[in-house]
Amino acid sequence: MAKTKLLIVTHEMSPFLELTKISEITRNLPQAMQEKGFEIRILMPRFGNINERRNRLHEVIRLSGMNIIIDNNDNPLIIKVASIPSARMQVYFLDNEDYFQRKQVFRDKEGKFYEDNDERAIFFCKGALETVKKLGWSPDVVHCHGWMTALVPTYIKTIYKDDPTFKNSRVVYSLYKSEFSENLNKNFAKKAVMNGMSEEDTAVFEKTDSIGIDCGAIAHSDAVVIGDENIHEDVLKYVKNSNKPTLAYNLTEDFENFFSFYEEVTQNELISFA
Residue 273 lies in a domain: no
Question: Domain span at residue 50?
Answer: 5-266
Per-residue pLDDT 10s for the chain (274 aa) are 578 999 999 999 999 999 999 999 999 999 999 999 999 999 999 999 998 888 899 999 889 889 999 988 899 999 999 998 788 899 999 999 999 999 899 999 999 999 999 999 999 999 999 999 999 999 999 999 999 999 999 999 999 999 999 999 999 999 999 888 999 999 999 999 988 888 899 999 999 999 999 999 999 999 999 999 999 999 999 999 999 999 999 999 999 999 999 999 998 655 444 3
Residue 119 lies in a domain: yes
* 39 vs 2: CA distance, rounded Å: 10
**How far is residue 152 from each of residues 88, 115, 259, measured CA to CA in Å?**
26, 21, 22
State the alpha helices, DSSP H only, in the chain.
21-35, 52-55, 97-100, 117-135, 151-157, 188-191, 210-219, 233-242, 255-266
Number of other CB atoms surrounding residue 3 within 10 Å: 12
- How far, rounded to the nearest angstrom, does the alpha carbon of residue 152 sit from its chain's CA centroid? 6
* 167 vs 125: CA distance, rounded Å: 17
Residue 207 lies in a domain: yes
pTM: 0.95
**How far is residue 229 from each of residues 104, 129, 213, 252, 262, measured CA to CA in Å?**
27, 29, 18, 11, 21
pLDDT, residue 268, reads 65
pLDDT, residue 271, reads 46
DSSP letters spanning 7-39: EEEES-BTTTB-SSHHHHHHHHHHHHHHHTT-E
Residue 271 lies in a domain: no
Total residue length of the chain = 274
Q: What is the CATH number of the domain that holds 114?
A: 3.40.50.2000
Residue 256 lies in a domain: yes
Q: Which amino acid is at 215?
A: C
| Domains held by the chain: number | 1
* 189 vs 229: CA distance, rounded Å: 28
* 1 vs 247: CA distance, rounded Å: 26
pLDDT, residue 88, reads 84
Closest by CA position to 98, among listed 68, 143, 58: 68
* 104 vs 137: CA distance, rounded Å: 32
* 129 vs 131: CA distance, rounded Å: 5
pLDDT, residue 39, reads 95
**Are 146 and 170 spatial neighbours (Cβ–Cβ below 8 Å)?**
no
Residue 144 lies in a domain: yes
**Are 159 and 130 spatial neighbours (Cβ–Cβ below 8 Å)?**
no
pLDDT, residue 179, reads 85
Residue 205 lies in a domain: yes
Residue 274 lies in a domain: no
Sequence-separated (6 or more) residues with CB below 8 Å from residue 95: 45, 46, 77, 78, 79, 80, 101
Closest by CA position to 106, among listed 12, 43, 207: 12
